[in-house]
Amino acid sequence: MPRRVDHEERRRQITDACRRVVARDGLEAATFQAVAAESGVSVRLVQYYFGNKHGLLVATHRAVIEGSAARFGGGTSPGESAEPPPPRAVLRALLVAQLPLDDARRADAVVLAAFHAAALTNEAVTPQELRGAPRALVDLVAAQLLRERGDGALPGDRSGPGDRARLDAELVLASAAGLTQGILAGHVSGETALAVVDRLLDHLVDPA
Amino acid sequence: MPRRVDHEERRRQITDACRRVVARDGLEAATFQAVAAESGVSVRLVQYYFGNKHGLLVATHRAVIEGSAARFGGGTSPGESAEPPPPRAVLRALLVAQLPLDDARRADAVVLAAFHAAALTNEAVTPQELRGAPRALVDLVAAQLLRERGDGALPGDRSGPGDRARLDAELVLASAAGLTQGILAGHVSGETALAVVDRLLDHLVDPA
DNA sequence: CGGTTGATGGTACGACCGTACCATCAACGT
DNA sequence: ACGTTGATGGTACGGTCGTACCATCAACCG
């Protein structure tokens, strides 16, 4: 047996470098040579661990998605003993966590935007286990809205409170995506985005 | 004098071809050879009319932006004699016009998303006269909201109705962008997007 | 202690891309 | 008529990218 190496750590090291390259110079700049130079290994090694470019890009896409998802759970894990926080606070934390308000989240958002745009015309860069993720987020937001409004009838009702909560949940997620896009493009400041989030929550919890 | 040709028409013919290529295969597929083949001219001619690739991309970006903007004015030009339509109808028309609900608008939205993502790491593909466009849209939406609510105090007030209208206008535009993104990615259907738009308008005009 | 084998480096090859250069055609003023 | 000149075609060149191929090193088992 020759010397063994932690494959997962090496792959993480390389996908991290790829993530930095994409965040800095865009998806088309993520060549084997650029990623190898950024991660401090040889071109041959990148090829060895990911086979071809498609494998590298898919692995990087999955890594950045998992990294972003990990930031969601960070604020809600402790405090199981106390009573659950009010739904408005949960929703606000969920929205704010999505916004690219610091450099790390901005880099992730830029990378995700690059992959998102590429998926519109390529559809092979998205790992196929991620197709249903937005639907789960809608359910989560809708559940919080129903909890806030005191209505518990979630399963399939026509034009009932559950239907309205579902539309409001789509509105919440669309607003978060749009605000993220505006912040990245420089059209919207971070303070304005936070004010818009609070204004949206006012609309959602005020009129019952 | 040799034979003269309408330069604007030729440029439009080529930028249209470039727009189709980007909508179909993405920005990185917009090579000189692909655009030349799509527009039915030689590579040399594309070079002749746009100088280099940067010129071609900037011209295409401007063309698709102007084309999208032209669709906005199409529904509001006639009927100057009658009374102005209610603000809610104006806002709804403005939102719906942005959504990629048919093939033409979808193609434009895909191309704009590609340029938007490229601008995050390149910032040379956006013609510089387009930087202030979103700000004008915010003013337009905020004015309609104030007209709906019967408050006329627009210029700089602190925490007044104008400030709230401004935040609501940002919310409207962010929602439109987010819904567009969701439709393009296939997470949101056209009917759901329209229902979300109506739900948002309910929130905006109901609680005064 | 030697050989099997995972890990790594270097490099060459074919394809494509952007661009510069040279050539040709056609129309209109003189 | 004819030459000036805008419009167009073809092609070659340097660079880069993805990938395949060959070689080397090192560790552990037998």
User: What DSSP string runs through B92-146?
Assistant: HHHHHHHS--SHHHHHHHHHHHHHHHHHHH--SSS-GGGTTHHHHHHHHHHHHHH
Residue range B98-105: average pLDDT? 97
Q: Report which listed range, A57-61, A65-69, B70-74, is most confident.
A: A57-61
Residue range A35-56: average pLDDT? 98
What pLDDT is stored for residue A76 in this prediction? 56
* Token duo for residue A82: 């106390």
- Torsional sign, CA B177, B144, A101, A98: negative
Predicted TM-score (pTM) of the model is 0.92
Asked whether residue B117 carries a pLDDT value surpassing 80, the answer given is yes
Q: Is the CB of B120 under 7 A from strand D?
A: no
* Contact criterion met (CB < 8 Å) for B113 and A134: no
B199 touching A (Cβ < 8 Å)? yes
* Token duo for residue A108: 């992730």
What pLDDT is stored for residue A208 in this prediction? 45
Confidence of residue B195 (pLDDT cuts 50, 70, 90): very high
* Token duo for residue B13: 């013919």
What pLDDT is stored for residue A152 in this prediction? 57
- Summarize pLDDT for B2-42 with one digit per residue, the tens: 678 899 999 999 999 999 999 999 999 999 999 999 999 99
CA within 13 Å, CB half, A192: 21
What pLDDT is stored for residue B119 in this prediction? 97
Alpha-carbon distance of B116 to B61, in angstroms, equals 10
Give the SS3 label for residue B74. coil
Helices first, then strands: H and E counts in chain A: 9, 0
Question: How far is the CA of B193 from the CAs of B153, B182, B183, in angstroms?
Answer: 32, 9, 8
Alpha-carbon distance of A24 to A34, in angstroms, equals 11
Asked whether residue A116 carries a pLDDT value surpassing 80, the answer given is yes
What pLDDT is stored for residue A77 in this prediction? 53
Type of residue at B14: I
Residue range B180-202: average pLDDT? 98
Residue range B106-131: average pLDDT? 92
What pLDDT is stored for residue B75 in this prediction? 54
Cβ-proximal residues to B156 (8 Å cutoff; 6+ apart), any chain: B162
What pLDDT is stored for residue B1 in this prediction? 61
Alpha-carbon distance of B172 to B138, in angstroms, equals 9
Question: What average pLDDT is seen over chain A?
Answer: 90
Asked whether residue B208 carries a pLDDT value surpassing 50, the answer given is no
- If one compares A85 and B145, the residue with the highest pLDDT of the two is B145
Confidence of residue B158 (pLDDT cuts 50, 70, 90): low
A196 touching B (Cβ < 8 Å)? yes
- Summarize pLDDT for B41-85 with one digit per residue, the tens: 999 999 999 999 999 999 999 999 999 888 776 555 555 566 778
Q: Which of A37-46, A122-131, B146-155 has the lowest mean pLDDT?
A: B146-155
Residue among A61, A173, A204 with most chain B CBs within 10 A, to mutate: A173
B121 touching A (Cβ < 8 Å)? yes
